[in-house]
Amino acid sequence: MIEVERLTKRYGPTTVVEDVSFGCRPGTVTGFLGPNGAGKSTTMRMLCGLTPATSGTATVLGVPFASLPNPGRHVGVLLDASAQHAGRTGRETLALTARVLGVPAKRADEMLATVGLAGKAAGRRVGNYSLGMRQRLGIAQALMGDPSVLVLDEPANGLDPEGIYWMRTLLRGFADRGGAVLLSSHLLHEVEAVADTLVVIAGGRVVANGAKSDLLASSGRTLVRALDQAALYTALTGAGLAVVRREPTGDGGEAFVVEAPAEAVGRAAAASGTVLLELRQAGGGGLEELFLTLTGRQTGPVAPSPSAPQEALR
């Protein structure tokens, strides 16, 4: 339902988005991931016809966004929740949208109720809204035209955990009814719970694109630490096992990440008589490592799944 092909945006000598291609199918949530400044927002604005592309094409429902006679009836767009007139009430903001879209005015109140802004909050000026409330208003606005496609840029920003859970449920339901969602975030864990497909962008280029299950599949790597790391290294290389990375541990030492299952690593160590202190599956999949590298955070001594607290929310 969304088709982005070789989209490129240059500002003078600077290339912000380069040769980006991906698609969004009906019934799926596509997580559009990347560190801040990776080109996510620029790509989304190009998709919505707000930023002219240097080259490449983007279509929604098979046509360029700007060719849709009444785009809001097909595509719900939320690019920046803060981009609302501070002096207008939430209800008035949606009432204006209803007029432009040509949908009944009562739809504004329905959508306010859907996003939890009914009652007093609806009559308050947007300037007095918290960021979380603005996100909810923005999502309500995107839903006004009963679209089949949603394009949301960082909609989870400013939402509390309950709000994030609510939004996941809403987006999942939207996709399950046959809609397509493109959802950007700079936090992997924010979207991995809801997305079916992930597109990872860094430095303006797509660095990973595929089904979440494939991208997040365990790497099959093993983390190992011995009393004598040098001896362990000799043992591992002697057994033909590749050390792909050295990982610092909390106490100033280091561990090896080995491209082999735990049993092979354990046998190699046992054969050489090396005392092991730690032997376990290396945390996270290839994507997580990739993503942490991109966002500039050290993988560190592989923390016990940072996603654990969010498991409960799924």
Partner 1 sequence: MTVLDLTQAPARPPLTRLALVELRKMTDTRAGRWLLAIIALVAVATVVVFMAVRPADEQSAGQLFALSQIGVGLLLPVVGILAVTGEWSQRTALTTFALVPQRLRILAAKVIAAVVLATGFVLLGLALGVLGRGAGGLLGVASGDWNLPVRAIGSMLLVEVATVLIGVAFGALLMNTPVAIVLYFVLPTVWTTVGSMVKALRDASVWLDTNRAFEPLTGESAATGTEWARAGTALALWMVLPLAIGAFRLVKREVK
Tell me the number of residues near partner 1 by CB under 8 A.
42
CA neighbours within 13 Å on the CB side: how many for 56?
23
Rounded Cα gap, residues 279 and 241, in angstroms: 15
Strands 75-78 and 55-60: unpaired
Q: Which is nearer to partner 1, 67 or 213 (CB)?
A: 67
Positions in 24-63 near partner 1 (CB under 8 A): 26, 41, 45, 48-52, 61-63
Q: Where are the alpha helices (DSSP H) in 28-79?
A: 40-47
Q: Which one of residues 10, 88, 189, 245 is an interface residue with partner 1 (CB under 8 A)? A: 88
CB of 197 to partner 1, least distance (A): 15
Query: In the chain, which residue ranges form alpha helices assigned H by DSSP?
Result: 40-47, 90-101, 106-114, 131-143, 161-176, 188-192, 212-215, 229-238, 262-272, 286-294, 308-311
Query: What residues from 119 to 178 belong to the interface with partner 1 (CB under 8 A)?
Result: 125, 141
**Minimum CB–partner distance for residue 191 and partner 1 (Å):** 22
Task: Write down the least CB distance from residue 80 to partner 1, Å.
Answer: 6
d(CA 117, CA 102): 22
Nearest alpha carbon to residue 136 among 94, 101, 107, 197? 94
Binding to partner 1 in span 98-117, by CB under 8 A:
99-102
Considering the rule CB under 8 A, would residue 70 count as an interface residue with partner 1? yes
Give least dist CB 69 to partner 1, A.
Answer: 4
Q: SS3 for 32?
A: strand
- Our CB check for partner 1 shows the closer of 88 and 172 to be 88
Choose, by CB under 8 A, the member of 27, 54, 73, 209 that binds partner 1.
Answer: 73
In whole angstroms, how close is the CB of 160 to partner 1 at the nearest point? Answer: 24
Q: Which residues pair with 78 in a beta bridge?
A: 152
Task: Name the residue among 31, 82, 25 with its Cα closest to residue 194.
Answer: 31
- Judged by the rule CB under 8 A, the positions of this chain that interact with partner 1 are 1, 3, 26, 41, 45, 48-52, 61-63, 65-74, 77, 79-80, 82-88, 92, 96-97, 99-102, 125, 141
